[in-house]
Each structure stands twice: as structure tokens, then as C-alpha cells.
């Protein structure tokens, strides 16, 4: 199921994070450290002065080759709260749209003494490619690539789950919807497995579930009533209509009837089960408004947790880069 083989390029020689490209292949202690670091930043969000000086003097470049206002804005806020300088590159108007190659653009940005690239790209493996070809002194954070990975979204989801439900070992988690096209689902599965979840379920129509999904140690269901029984966490996914290349669904109405999360379907899960969605929500397609806005929904908490999680990843990656620079020096 993994399209890109994870490698040691995410870590420096001391095993510290220097890039964050995927949750696949990272250890439980390292994922736990990311969660703990994000937890430590949550309290700063409630202060009148929300900034900390960890990245003061550093330059972070947002390289969004694919649009995502929510993800880019949370990375920008996270960088500002770490006291970094921010450059948002308008790809549509940049030199890459005028014939300059991607690497030429990156090398020019390197020459401006950038310290971190936050990359979102429609092609799977783009962030890995950039991390392998730029100077070792620049950290790369994957903000979503093709159908491959969206590691910071997965980790903010893990942070939300841990804060709401406690240890992962005791939880049954269901991921519902378009598994086939979802980079978030892949990153969530790898993170959940590493953090100790033993009962992970994916629910959706056959056309939207990869055929080899069970090789990851998850169970696949085509029936909501069966899949939601006894679940503690329900993660709804957005229909990835822009990444569908064929008519994989009869209609949105039929999809909602069978796989949309309504109040009645949620009642099949355990009492106290939480409802999550990475956003943006298609109400009446993936989820009923009464559920999205209801007492079991933690969707807005996911949004809030996005900033401290991205602060944690950026701070840790920069720390790993600084250690690399000291060793090279």
C-alpha cells in the first residue's frame, strides 16, 4: 500500500527528527515524543502572548504546489508562534510556472539561506524527492503529497485521540470513507499501529478500499453497522473527488445512505465514542450536521490541535538539523 519506501533520511545520525515526511517507519518513542512536545505547546495557545523564541532568526518557506488554505494557514501560524520568518511562495505566479524547473526554484531558495521547506504537492513522493536533493541544512516537512502521506494531519489526529480517549492500546478505531485516495488514512494507519492500536478498521465501498489494505493489519468492512460496532473513535474522511479518475460511486446520495455518519449510525459505536474529520466537511455527504456539531464531535479540537502539533514537528526537525550542522562543522 505504501507508494514511497521510507528511509533514514527523516533522521539524523543521532536518531533525531530532521525531516518529517511520513509516519511510516518511525518508532513509537519518536512518535510519542512528537505528541508530548505538541502537548507542551498547547498551553502557549491560551496565553496573551503566544509566541516562543525557538525558531527566532530562522526562515520557513511554504511551498504549496497544491492549494490548501487550512493547512497552509496553520503552518504559517505555527511558524510565527515559533518566532520564525515566513515566506509564502505563490507557485501559480512563481518561476516554475514560467518554465523554471523545480530544482532551480529550490536552489534559489537555498541561496537565500532558507532553513525549512513546508511542501504540499499533488505528486506522491514530492517531499521525499526534495529532501533527497536539497542541501542537508534545510529541513523538509511534508504537508501532503498525492495519495501517499499527510503526516502532520495524522499526528494532530493522534494528539486529539490521546487527549480525549487516553492510551491507544485500549482503543478500537474506525476510518470511514474514501480510503483509496486518502493520504491522511495511510498516515493515520501507520501512526495508530506504531502507537499500539490493535483493532483498526476501515469502512467503505469496495471501490474505495485498496485491495491490499489488510496487509497493514487492519480489518476492512463494507457495512457500517458491522464496522462501527464497539468502536471508540470514528474518523470520517472527505470524499476525494478531485483525485478520483473514474466513476467509483453511484451518487453522493447513495454514498451518504450507506456510509454517511448519521446519529443512528453513530449509536452503533461505543457510548462516548468520539467523531473526527480532517476537513473540510461535506455535510450531508460524509456526515450529518447533527453529528458534526454534536457532543461527540471533536472536529474543532482537531483544528485547534493542528497549530501545536505543527509547532512541535517544526521545532523538532529544526533541532535535528541544527545537530546535523554541528556534527558537520
Claim to verify: residue 17 and residue 141 sit in the same structural domain: yes
Question: pTM score, two decimals?
Answer: 0.92
Instruction: Note whether residue 239 is domain-resident.
Output: yes
Cβ contacts of 98 within 8 Å, gap of 6 or more: none
Q: Provide the pLDDT for residue 122.
A: 87
Question: CATH number of the domain that 33 lies in?
Answer: 3.40.50.1370
Instruction: Note whether residue 170 is domain-resident.
Output: yes
Q: What's the pLDDT tens digit per position in 173-221?
A: 999 999 998 999 999 999 999 999 999 999 999 999 999 999 999 999 9
Q: What's the pLDDT tens digit per position in 62-77?
A: 999 888 888 999 999 9
Q: What is residue 6's three-state secondary structure?
A: coil
CB-based burial, 219-235: b 16+ in 10 Å, e otherwise: ebbeebeebbeebbbbb
Q: How confident is the model at residue 110 (pLDDT cuts 50, 70, 90)?
A: confident
Q: In residues, how long is the chain?
A: 329
Claim to verify: residue 157 and residue 284 sit in the same structural domain: yes
Q: Which grid cell is 87?
A: 515566506
Q: Provide the pLDDT for residue 249.
A: 77
Instruction: Note whether residue 57 is domain-resident.
Output: yes
- Tell me which residue of 159, 211, 138, 214 sits closest to 32, measured CA to CA: 159
Residue 165 in this model has a pLDDT that exceeds 50: yes
Q: How confident is the model at residue 2 (pLDDT cuts 50, 70, 90)?
A: very low
- Beta strands 233-236 and 274-276 are parallel
Q: How confident is the model at residue 261 (pLDDT cuts 50, 70, 90)?
A: very high
Q: Average pLDDT for residues 13-40, to the nearest whole number?
A: 96
Claim to verify: residue 103 and residue 142 sit in the same structural domain: yes
Averaged pLDDT score across all residues of the chain:
89
Q: Output the CA torsion 18→280→263→218 (10° steps).
A: -40
Q: Provide the pLDDT for residue 179.
A: 94
Cβ contacts of 117 within 8 Å, gap of 6 or more: 60, 61, 63, 106, 109, 130, 134, 138, 139, 140, 141
Q: How confident is the model at residue 96 (pLDDT cuts 50, 70, 90)?
A: low
Pairwise CA distance, residues 77 & 309, whole Å: 11
Instruction: Note whether residue 3 is domain-resident.
Output: no
Return the number of other C-beta atoms located less than 10 Å from residue 17's C-beta. 24
Residue 327 in this model has a pLDDT that exceeds 90: no
Q: How many domains does the chain have?
A: 2
Pairwise CA distance, residues 35 & 192, whole Å: 13
Q: What's the pLDDT tens digit per position in 227-256?
A: 999 999 999 999 876 655 566 777 888 899
Instruction: Note whether residue 267 is domain-resident.
Output: yes
More confident residue, 244 or 222: 222
Question: Which domain range does residue 316 map to?
Answer: 8-149+304-328
Q: Provide the pLDDT for residue 1.
A: 43
Residue entry with cell 462501527:
228
Claim to verify: residue 164 and residue 134 sit in the same structural domain: no
For residues 238 and 176, the answer to whether their CB atoms sit within 8 Å is no
Pairwise CA distance, residues 313 & 305, whole Å: 12
Amino acid at each position: 500500500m505504501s507508494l514511497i519506501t521510507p528511509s533514514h533520511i527523516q533522521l539524523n545520525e543521532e536518531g533525531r527528527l530532521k525531516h518529517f515526511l511520513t509516519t511510516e517507519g518511525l518508532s513509537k518513542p519518536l512518535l510519542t515524543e512528537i505528541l508530548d512536545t505538541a502537548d507542551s505547546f498547547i498551553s502557549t495557545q491560551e496565553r496573551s502572548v503566544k509566541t516562543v523564541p525557538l525558531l527566532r532568526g530562522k526562515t520557513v518557506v511554504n511551498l504549496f504546489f497544491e492549494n490548501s488554505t487550512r493547512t497552509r494557514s496553520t503552518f504559517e501560524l505555527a511558524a510565527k508562534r515559533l518566532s520564525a520568518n515566513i515566506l509564502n511562495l505563490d507557485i501559480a505566479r512563481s518561476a516554475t510556472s514560467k518554465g523554471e524547473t523545480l530544482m532551480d526554484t529550490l536552489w534559489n531558495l537555498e541561496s537565500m539561506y532558507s532553513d525549512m521547506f513546508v511542501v504540499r504537492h499533488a505528486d506522491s513522493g514530492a517531499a521525499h524527492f526534495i529532501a533527497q536533493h536539497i542541501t542537508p541544512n534545510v529541513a523538509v516537512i511534508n504537508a501532503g503529497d498525492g495519495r501517499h502521506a499527510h503526516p502532520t494531519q495524522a499526528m494532530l489526529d493522534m494528539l486529539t485521540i490521546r487527549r480525549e480517549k487516553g492510551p491507544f492500546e485500549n482503543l478500537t478505531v474506525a476510518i470511514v470513507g474514501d480510503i483509496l485516495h486518502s493520504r491522511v488514512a495511510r498516515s493515520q494507519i501507520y501512526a495508530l499501529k506504531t502507537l499500539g492500536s490493535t483493532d483498526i478498521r476501515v469502512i467503505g465501498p469496495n471501490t474505495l478500499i485498496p485491495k491490499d489494505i489488510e496487509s497493514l493489519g487492519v480489518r476492512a468492512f463494507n457495512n457500517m453497522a458491522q464496522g462501527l460496532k464497539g468502536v471508540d473513535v470514528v474518523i470520517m474522511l472527505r470524499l476525494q473527488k478531485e483525485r478520483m479518475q473514474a466513476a467509483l460511486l453511484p451518487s453522493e446520495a447513495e454514498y451518504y445512505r450507506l456510509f454517511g455518519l448519521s446519529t443512528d449510525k453513530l449509536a452503533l459505536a461505543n457510548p462516548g465514542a468520539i467523531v473526527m474529520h480532517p476537513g473540510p466537511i461535506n455535510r450531508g455527504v460524509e456526515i450529518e450536521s447533527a453529528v458534526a456539531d454534536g457532543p461527540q464531535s471533536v472536529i474543532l479540537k482537531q483544528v485547534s490541535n493542528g497549530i501545536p502539533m505543527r509547532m512541535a514537528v517544526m521545532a523538532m526537525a529544526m533541532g535535528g538539523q541544527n545537530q546535523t550542522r554541528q556534527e558537520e562543522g
